[in-house]
Chain A
């Protein structure tokens, strides 16, 4: 997916309490486990706790994950602008 020009950042860069839309999950160890828990393109995540490991909310559940893993999750911080990942599709 071409995301040039998109304002995407790695998940750990989101601040506490803010949310983001997942635009890409890069190939990482445990990729499909991460995705099946809901950390997958197009999902909304909210950061509950920053640091390493960090806690995010996806759907109704809290998920704790290491920052190393979270680095591979690219998100677009929530805003009113059109969703970047949708535009790219």
Chain B
């Protein structure tokens, strides 16, 4: 059995940096059983025996990164889980060889509080002291030898950017590893009398704090240095009720613009790459169902998964950088008062902004919200934010509505975003009032000192999130893509009369390409309309008629059930443009404007277009988001609820819009 080392410490003490420095990419993540608390586990290679010839594997240990905590009082799920693991009561991580306690030198007295509790776990312990440079700047010097003597455990000073102390730490662990972590000296616990004096005061924390304060006073040599005020000065602005909000909106706009524009490039590359692979595959593969399954079903499916990666990586990279600087907790601080009005905490705002790029990384980033109910409510409403995939749909519909009126078109665009935000905030309010009642937790968070962020940490964090997404959502999204391919391909139908005539004409024509292309498009339209999806669309036609839609729009809605932007290509196919309409927006808009019902009246009237626009602002229409909702909430109940309420909302809103506008415009 590989010995396990537990990494414990206060939030912001530098635990993650140490973990990353020790394990790098050799790590896995998961959730502690029955919770949404994340664990990170990595393998740590230790220097081998000097005179032995043991392989690196036998000398390895597993490093388990516990969540950042202030105490073992089990006041939060994080503390409960950490306490469980430290006392060997956790079924997933039952045994542990030793503890590394990460301690922030610039805030020693508070950090020693947790250390005193860790010392009571009866495990060999190493004290890893971080932020010594910050402490030095604040005029604090620590007598590490004395601290080591008092606690009866090794104390190792760390400076990870300078690569100092890591070898000492590894050597210490290697020594202990050789002894199989048996018979090692245990850290000295605080005397019972010190913790529980005359009759135990009402606050069990108080005496323990006194103990840690006394120990800190003993080992700290304070020189008088003017306290660096840069953090306080920055906070004057960044936590200001007004300027703070502006600063936050500025930072978020920048972040959002980055995700939007930077992600665009790799996304286009990925889409192009997969299109080319599918095309190349279609050239090699036989022109039958199997070939179509590979190129249209599986390759498209894989592309549908991979295309989310750039946004996920970029968002989490920048969020990790922002968090590392200490800014994110300020953002939560300034937004708290505003967000409370809809019953959500300030921490919910960053995911809400990110949701405008893509709901998937936004949902994954809701882990910053501490309270489970608040987090769930946020996840449920996030898909209402107008994500990037809605833009192609908005563009088409707004062009139909306002072909030559750029100002009105811009207003309609803004309105679409505003409606999404209003719907999300309103739904959050209602959800918090009904199915997830209870006041959200009052704000309580530490505001760490500002510092320059670590790029490596941010990169590792982003990679880890990308890997989690592929693992948790990849397979399901792929399966769904194949299922949708089946629905839109089967049952096969005979090519229509019109296509056959076109082909016959083409045989006689001098330049047959145009006619053949037209025949292909006819066949594609006919095949889709006679597939399962086409039959289903006819089935729901009576349902969508009150919204102003015909069966072909119904088919578009059905086919874009898994990915809303698909409606553009479906409309392009059912209105006879093949896949051309997807590339040539104006051609598609023109075609749609000309589209007529069998009785000769236009399909895309203004009421119907508005209605469809409102539908796409509010409808769920994104299965990958639902898969992520499931994996983040741990139950299919929540994505189903999400789908249910959003579809109902979209349906009702479209109904009202269509029926109302029909009275006034045509």
Contact = CB atoms under 8 A, between A and B. Distances in A.
Contact of B206 (A41, A58, A59): A41
A34 B445 CA distance: 9
Interface string B325-343: 0000100010011000000
Contacts of A62: 231, 235, 446-449
A30 B107 contact: no
Interface in B322-363: 329, 333, 336-337
B109 interface: yes
B617 to A, nearest CB: 33
A25 interface: yes
Contacts of B108: 60
Q: Which residue among B70, B108, B443, B448 has the maximum number of chain A CB atoms within 10 Å of its CB? A: B443
23 contacts: A1-B202, A30-B75, A30-B441, A30-B444, A32-B75, A33-B75, A34-B444, A37-B110, A41-B205, A48-B235, A49-B239, A53-B443, A55-B239, A58-B110, A60-B106, A60-B109, A60-B138, A62-B448, A63-B446, A63-B447, A64-B443, A66-B336, A69-B443
A89 B201 contact: yes
A60 B111 CA distance: 10
A25 B203 contact: yes
A29 B442 contact: yes
B206 A40 contact: yes
Interface in A21-55: 25, 29-38, 40-43, 48-49, 51-53, 55
B203 A41 contact: yes
B31 interface: no
Contact of B443 (A35, A38, A43, A66): A66
Given A48-B235, A62-B447, A64-B447, A33 B76 contact: yes
Size bracket, chain A contacts: 20 to 34
A59 B104 CA distance: 12
B629 to A, nearest CB: 27
B492 interface: no
A78 to B, nearest CB: 17
Contacts, number: 108
Contacts of B106: 60
A59 B109 contact: yes
B68 to A, nearest CB: 12
Nearest to B330: A64
B485 interface: no
Contacts of B110: 37-38, 58-61
Contacts of B107: 59-61
Given A38-B209, A59-B109, A60-B110, A66 B446 contact: no
Interface string B198-236: 000111011001100000000000000000000110010
Contact of B329 (A35, A43, A60, A64): A64
